[in-house]
Structure 1
Amino acid sequence: MSIKKKLGMGVATAVLGLGLIGGGTFAYFSDTEVSNNTFAAGTLDLALNPTEIINVENIKPGDTMLRPFTLTNSGSLHIKTVDLLTNYGVVDAENDNNEDFAEHINVNFLLNADKGTLPIWSTSLAELKNASPELVEEKFWLIFWEQRGLEPGTSDTFYVQFEFEDNGEDQNEFQGDSLNLEWKFEAMQDEGKAK
């Protein structure tokens, strides 16, 4: 065997020996525990009944239409607030409107229609469309909900009266017109808390 091979074999043997000795000096006791954890998100589920609150034809100035609707918390989380967002479109049958039809449709939010109470808040659909969610909360939700929001599995029934306002003036421009109203109820959760 050549000197190079002998030296290479010697070095390899030394490295192997040191590895065996070094491996033995790092032996220690050990123990392992495993933690299995779960994060399950809750659900925020607001249900509306009926989904079509109003659908009427042949209305005239002075007509009123009382409708109930129910909001139900079908989720597992507390609903703190509900924003009411209003949008509408007017179909001008004769293309002769100088005013917005929605300015003549009033919305009266009632606390309890069965007991004949006065409206909590009255506004026109046009004003309601431009109202901020904070204004709607201040004028209606805060008064209606003594305790804020809806607990899971509970519901509240609301009463709303729509009124085609008779302003005592010529409203002929609205004959044959229609208004398509969209109300979007947007539920918001409570603030997070330590659990």
Structure 2
Amino acid sequence: MSIKKNIVTGVATAVLGLGLIGGGTYAYFSDTVATTNTFAAGTIDLSVDPEVVIDVEDLSPGNWMIRSFDLVNNGSLDITQVLLSTSYQVEDAKGDNTDDFGKHIRVNFLENSDKSEETGPNDIIFSTTLYDLQQMTPDAVEKKVIGFDNEISGLPAGTKDTMYVEFEFVDNGEDQNQFQGDKLKLNWSFEAR
């Protein structure tokens, strides 16, 4: 064997020996941690106080009345919109109606007073009949007044907005006898999003 081969063999043997020694004495520290995670969905819980906004009898053309109610967010999540849907049923007492009683009941305003400012009221609805309101879905917690004085659009968790509404049995100056004794049952549905 040549000297060169002996040197290469010696070096290879030394490297192998060191590798075995190092591998046999290799030690390390370790630690393991486990986590438990939870995803919990928040809640949207909208309520109206009082639940009956209006209940009147003995209306005659020209009568009007103002009512107030609160939209309350009892949930854990902020509400960005509260959409108002309108429907109604007319009970025709004499069966002689040639017109829809809802065309003669006007909502003169629905104001969100918490979002109103000195520059003007925050009217969600401004002068429309119940008949026409059926085709709309206004956002009751939208801020329509331009300004910075009061709260922004929406209904934060744990808060309420106070609403004022005026209803009027419109006197159109014509014979409205067909509505004597009739009842209109108004259904307002508030959908929180």
Higher relative helix content: 1
Q: Which runs of 5+ in 2 are unaligned?
A: 1-27
- After TM superposition, give the deviation of residue 69 of structure 1 in Å: 0.7
Match of 1:43 in 2: 43
Paired with 2:49 and 2:104, the residues of 1 have a C-alpha distance of 26
| 2:70 aligned with 1:65 | no
Name the aligned partner's letter for residue 166 of structure 1: D
CA distance 1:175–1:110, change in 2 (3 Å):
same
Q: Which protein is bigger by CA-based radius of gyration?
A: 2
**Sequence identity of aligned pairs in percent?**
50
Q: TM-score, normalised by structure 1?
A: 0.72
Count of residues in Structure 1 that have an aligned counterpart in Structure 2: 154
Secondary structure of the corresponding residue to residue 144 of structure 2: helix
- After TM superposition, give the deviation of residue 119 of structure 1 in Å: 8.8
Match of 2:93 in 1: 93
Paired with 1:105 and 1:56, the residues of 2 have a C-alpha distance of 13
Match of 2:82 in 1: 82
Paired with 1:165 and 1:141, the residues of 2 have a C-alpha distance of 28
Paired with 1:71 and 1:148, the residues of 2 have a C-alpha distance of 13
Q: TM-score, normalised by structure 2?
A: 0.72
Match of 2:144 in 1: 143
Paired with 2:151 and 2:76, the residues of 1 have a C-alpha distance of 21
Alignment check: 8 A CA contact 1:110 1:118 kept: no
- The range that moved more, 30-39 or 52-61, is 30-39
Question: Cα RMSD between the aligned structures?
Answer: 2.6
- After TM superposition, give the deviation of residue 143 of structure 1 in Å: 1.9
Name the aligned partner's letter for residue 141 of structure 1: E
